Structure 1
């Protein structure tokens, strides 16, 4: 049987079983002032995604050993992701201070960045690449977490990116990485059934943070190879732009950037009356548009312009809708 078929069956089965178990356990996310939901919903569904990913990794380790160095680096990345997932699960339950969370993210980010850029010559330029790469990975990790506020948006992003990156990594002869992203995509796609359009369970930080870490790692793999270098950032432009736009707007107002809020564009659009499933579908469309642009060979500037134009149009539309509804931005 083809390995990808086995990974599919394994991923769907494990994710479904664990998700249903987490729903029965019933650790509830009680709605607050910033919540998009109005009734308590079970949380921690990211546990199912990570267990599904773990099952796929064990299968690959036992039955399809890859070259030692490739498997070692991929294994270390997985350990970092699972470590962050474990910490995030504890944070979901105990609510650690923001500084403690940042420290955990930094440790995982440094590990992932070094693994992605391992083998580059030890020069000043390599050092700068590691610093910039780590900054990008931690940004993506937090951005995906911030955007996990309405049904299907974050987990759909993970599913789309994972399944799109799978064949491209395979073509680039990165077989272990390809199999990992396929397992991630299948896990997210399975969980999406329980989360969209009506959520029976939420993913929570235990899923969004480690998955964001892995997407950041994927971005570094493409940047290092030099083929489709901006593919992942272009695919993620919807969430990256929303977070950057929101942070800049809040900074200009002198607000505390570490304080929780509900001022993201997607949240404002929801409060202004736009359908939540439609907002999610729009962000999925941003992914496919960014992927299409990223696979073309039209130059970096043109790629950035083509993916940023829809974001500025979206931001302008949301601001206009908010003003019509007399909502605070």
Structure 2
């Protein structure tokens, strides 16, 4: 009952808070302006993380009388650090170096003092418990990768919120079924906060998440993924809730973010560009080029993630040594098929466009600009 109360409290608080957050952001002129690689057409308030983290924090205070372990105190402190980094980046802009330094402080705090880390490979590749220095290093690396992967997928109305909602719901349910009530409650508090955000972020969005939200929420999911792997490893083999491929299952909870990030980095490196250079080559950009709306892309990617999680659930008796390469091949095959379909549809759309000479100069410029946006992210486009 306390879990349900906490979830409802977070959702209701978020619903009440967001109108004030939107009004304050508009009054402060902290708007996300269109143009460049932005795909929205008008100025929209950013910093939706203000509402998410406020609803989450208040619900933690009301829903949990105390956090019974230093682990979660440090986790919440690190969450606050990531929120501050995101807020400053949305407000004034931070260099990538300063953002990374701030993130490393937060991640080091929760890994070393909070003991939220990958402690073992649980037999994967024949490796069991990890030496302390490898555990610390690998855990910080995972936090950096997973947090920023989630941050990069925040480019479409409702997408980051929906993907985060799915992960937190699964984790919260699993923690409750395995009698980790505190962890389950915290996850459902975040679920309620994200659900209230989606009410205002669903297409057409009235507010964006921004780094203020994507950095702390991505960190939150990464932290509870590592806790899931830890606690899962302590379950007896006969437990119906044990995943014998915890690493694969954990990655499925971040599958869209991880695939999109790796795909973009590889594409940029192949073209001789910096892997950190911004462009419009993310998976959601490709799906938008196929003619889908924001909400349709969000539902499609969220649906794919749910299917993969359900598949991992049914195959929970399998081992990482088999499931990890199997799921990797499946995801790469799905991505390749998506690329082929997208390129075909874009070529058809460009080929069927009215001839340039039949257009006014203004329209010619507009078509030329749109075509350049279509082809600049993939040199294989041909008319």
Structure-1-length-normalised TM-score: 0.90
Number of corresponding residues: 322
How far does residue 319 in structure 1 lie from its aligned partner after superposition?
4.1
How far does residue 14 in structure 1 lie from its aligned partner after superposition?
1.8
Is residue 238 from structure 1 mapped to residue 237 from structure 2 by the alignment?
no
Computing the radius of gyration over CA atoms, which structure comes out larger, 1 or 2? Answer: 2
Alignment equivalent of 1:139, drawn from 140, 145, 159: 145
Structure 2 gap ranges (5+): 121-128, 234-241, 348-373, 379-383
- Return the alpha-carbon distance in structure 2 between the equivalents of residues 164 and 105 of structure 1: 26
1:86 alignment partner in structure 2: 84
Is residue 199 from structure 1 mapped to residue 205 from structure 2 by the alignment?
yes
Secondary structure at the counterpart of residue 96 of structure 1: coil
How far does residue 301 in structure 1 lie from its aligned partner after superposition?
4.1
Alignment equivalent of 1:318, drawn from 339, 359, 380: 339
- CA shift in 2, pair 1:9/1:222, >3 Å: closer
2:21 alignment partner in structure 1: 22
Whether the aligned pair in 2 keeps the contact of 1:117 and 1:130 (CA below 8 Å) is no
Deviates more, 1:256-265 or 1:318-327: 318-327
Secondary structure at the counterpart of residue 325 of structure 1: helix
Deviations 1:160-183 (A, max 9, x none): 111111121123332222111110
- Return the alpha-carbon distance in structure 2 between the equivalents of residues 19 and 120 of structure 1: 39
1:267 alignment partner in structure 2: 285
- Return the alpha-carbon distance in structure 1 between the equivalents of residues 339 and 322 of structure 2: 25
- CA shift in 2, pair 1:77/1:192, >3 Å: same
1:214 alignment partner in structure 2: 220
Alignment equivalent of 1:303, drawn from 303, 323, 335: 323
- Return the alpha-carbon distance in structure 2 between the equivalents of residues 148 and 118 of structure 1: 25
Deviates more, 1:225-234 or 1:10-19: 225-234
How far does residue 235 in structure 1 lie from its aligned partner after superposition?
2.0
Whether the aligned pair in 2 keeps the contact of 1:98 and 1:258 (CA below 8 Å) is no
- CA shift in 2, pair 1:9/1:148, >3 Å: same
- CA shift in 2, pair 1:118/1:279, >3 Å: closer
How far does residue 9 in structure 1 lie from its aligned partner after superposition?
3.0
Whether the aligned pair in 1 keeps the contact of 2:117 and 2:139 (CA below 8 Å) is no
Deviations 1:8-40 (A, max 9, x none): 232122211221112112131111210110111
How far does residue 275 in structure 1 lie from its aligned partner after superposition?
2.9
How far does residue 259 in structure 1 lie from its aligned partner after superposition?
2.1
How far does residue 43 in structure 1 lie from its aligned partner after superposition?
1.1
- Return the alpha-carbon distance in structure 1 between the equivalents of residues 88 and 11 of structure 2: 25
Deviations 1:157-209 (A, max 9, x none): 11111111112112333222211111001110111111113201111111111
Alignment equivalent of 1:247, drawn from 262, 265, 281: 265
Cα RMSD (Å) of the superposition?
Answer: 2.2
Counterparts of residues 1-329 of structure 1 (less than 5 Å): 2-25=1-24, 26=26, 27-62=30-65, 65=66, 68=68, 70=69, 72-114=70-112, 115-117=114-116, 125-225=131-231, 226=233, 227-228=242-243, 229-230=246-247, 231-295=249-313, 296-304=316-324, 305-306=326-327, 308-326=329-347, 327-328=374-375, 329=378
- CA shift in 2, pair 1:319/1:293, >3 Å: same
Structure 1 gap ranges (5+): none
- CA shift in 2, pair 1:52/1:23, >3 Å: same
Whether the aligned pair in 2 keeps the contact of 1:43 and 1:202 (CA below 8 Å) is yes
Whether the aligned pair in 2 keeps the contact of 1:137 and 1:213 (CA below 8 Å) is yes
- Return the alpha-carbon distance in structure 2 between the equivalents of residues 308 and 149 of structure 1: 26
Whether the aligned pair in 2 keeps the contact of 1:293 and 1:307 (CA below 8 Å) is no
2:238 alignment partner in structure 1: none
Whether the aligned pair in 1 keeps the contact of 2:264 and 2:275 (CA below 8 Å) is no
Deviations 1:120-175 (A, max 9, x none): 69x86232122122211111111111100001110111111111111211233322
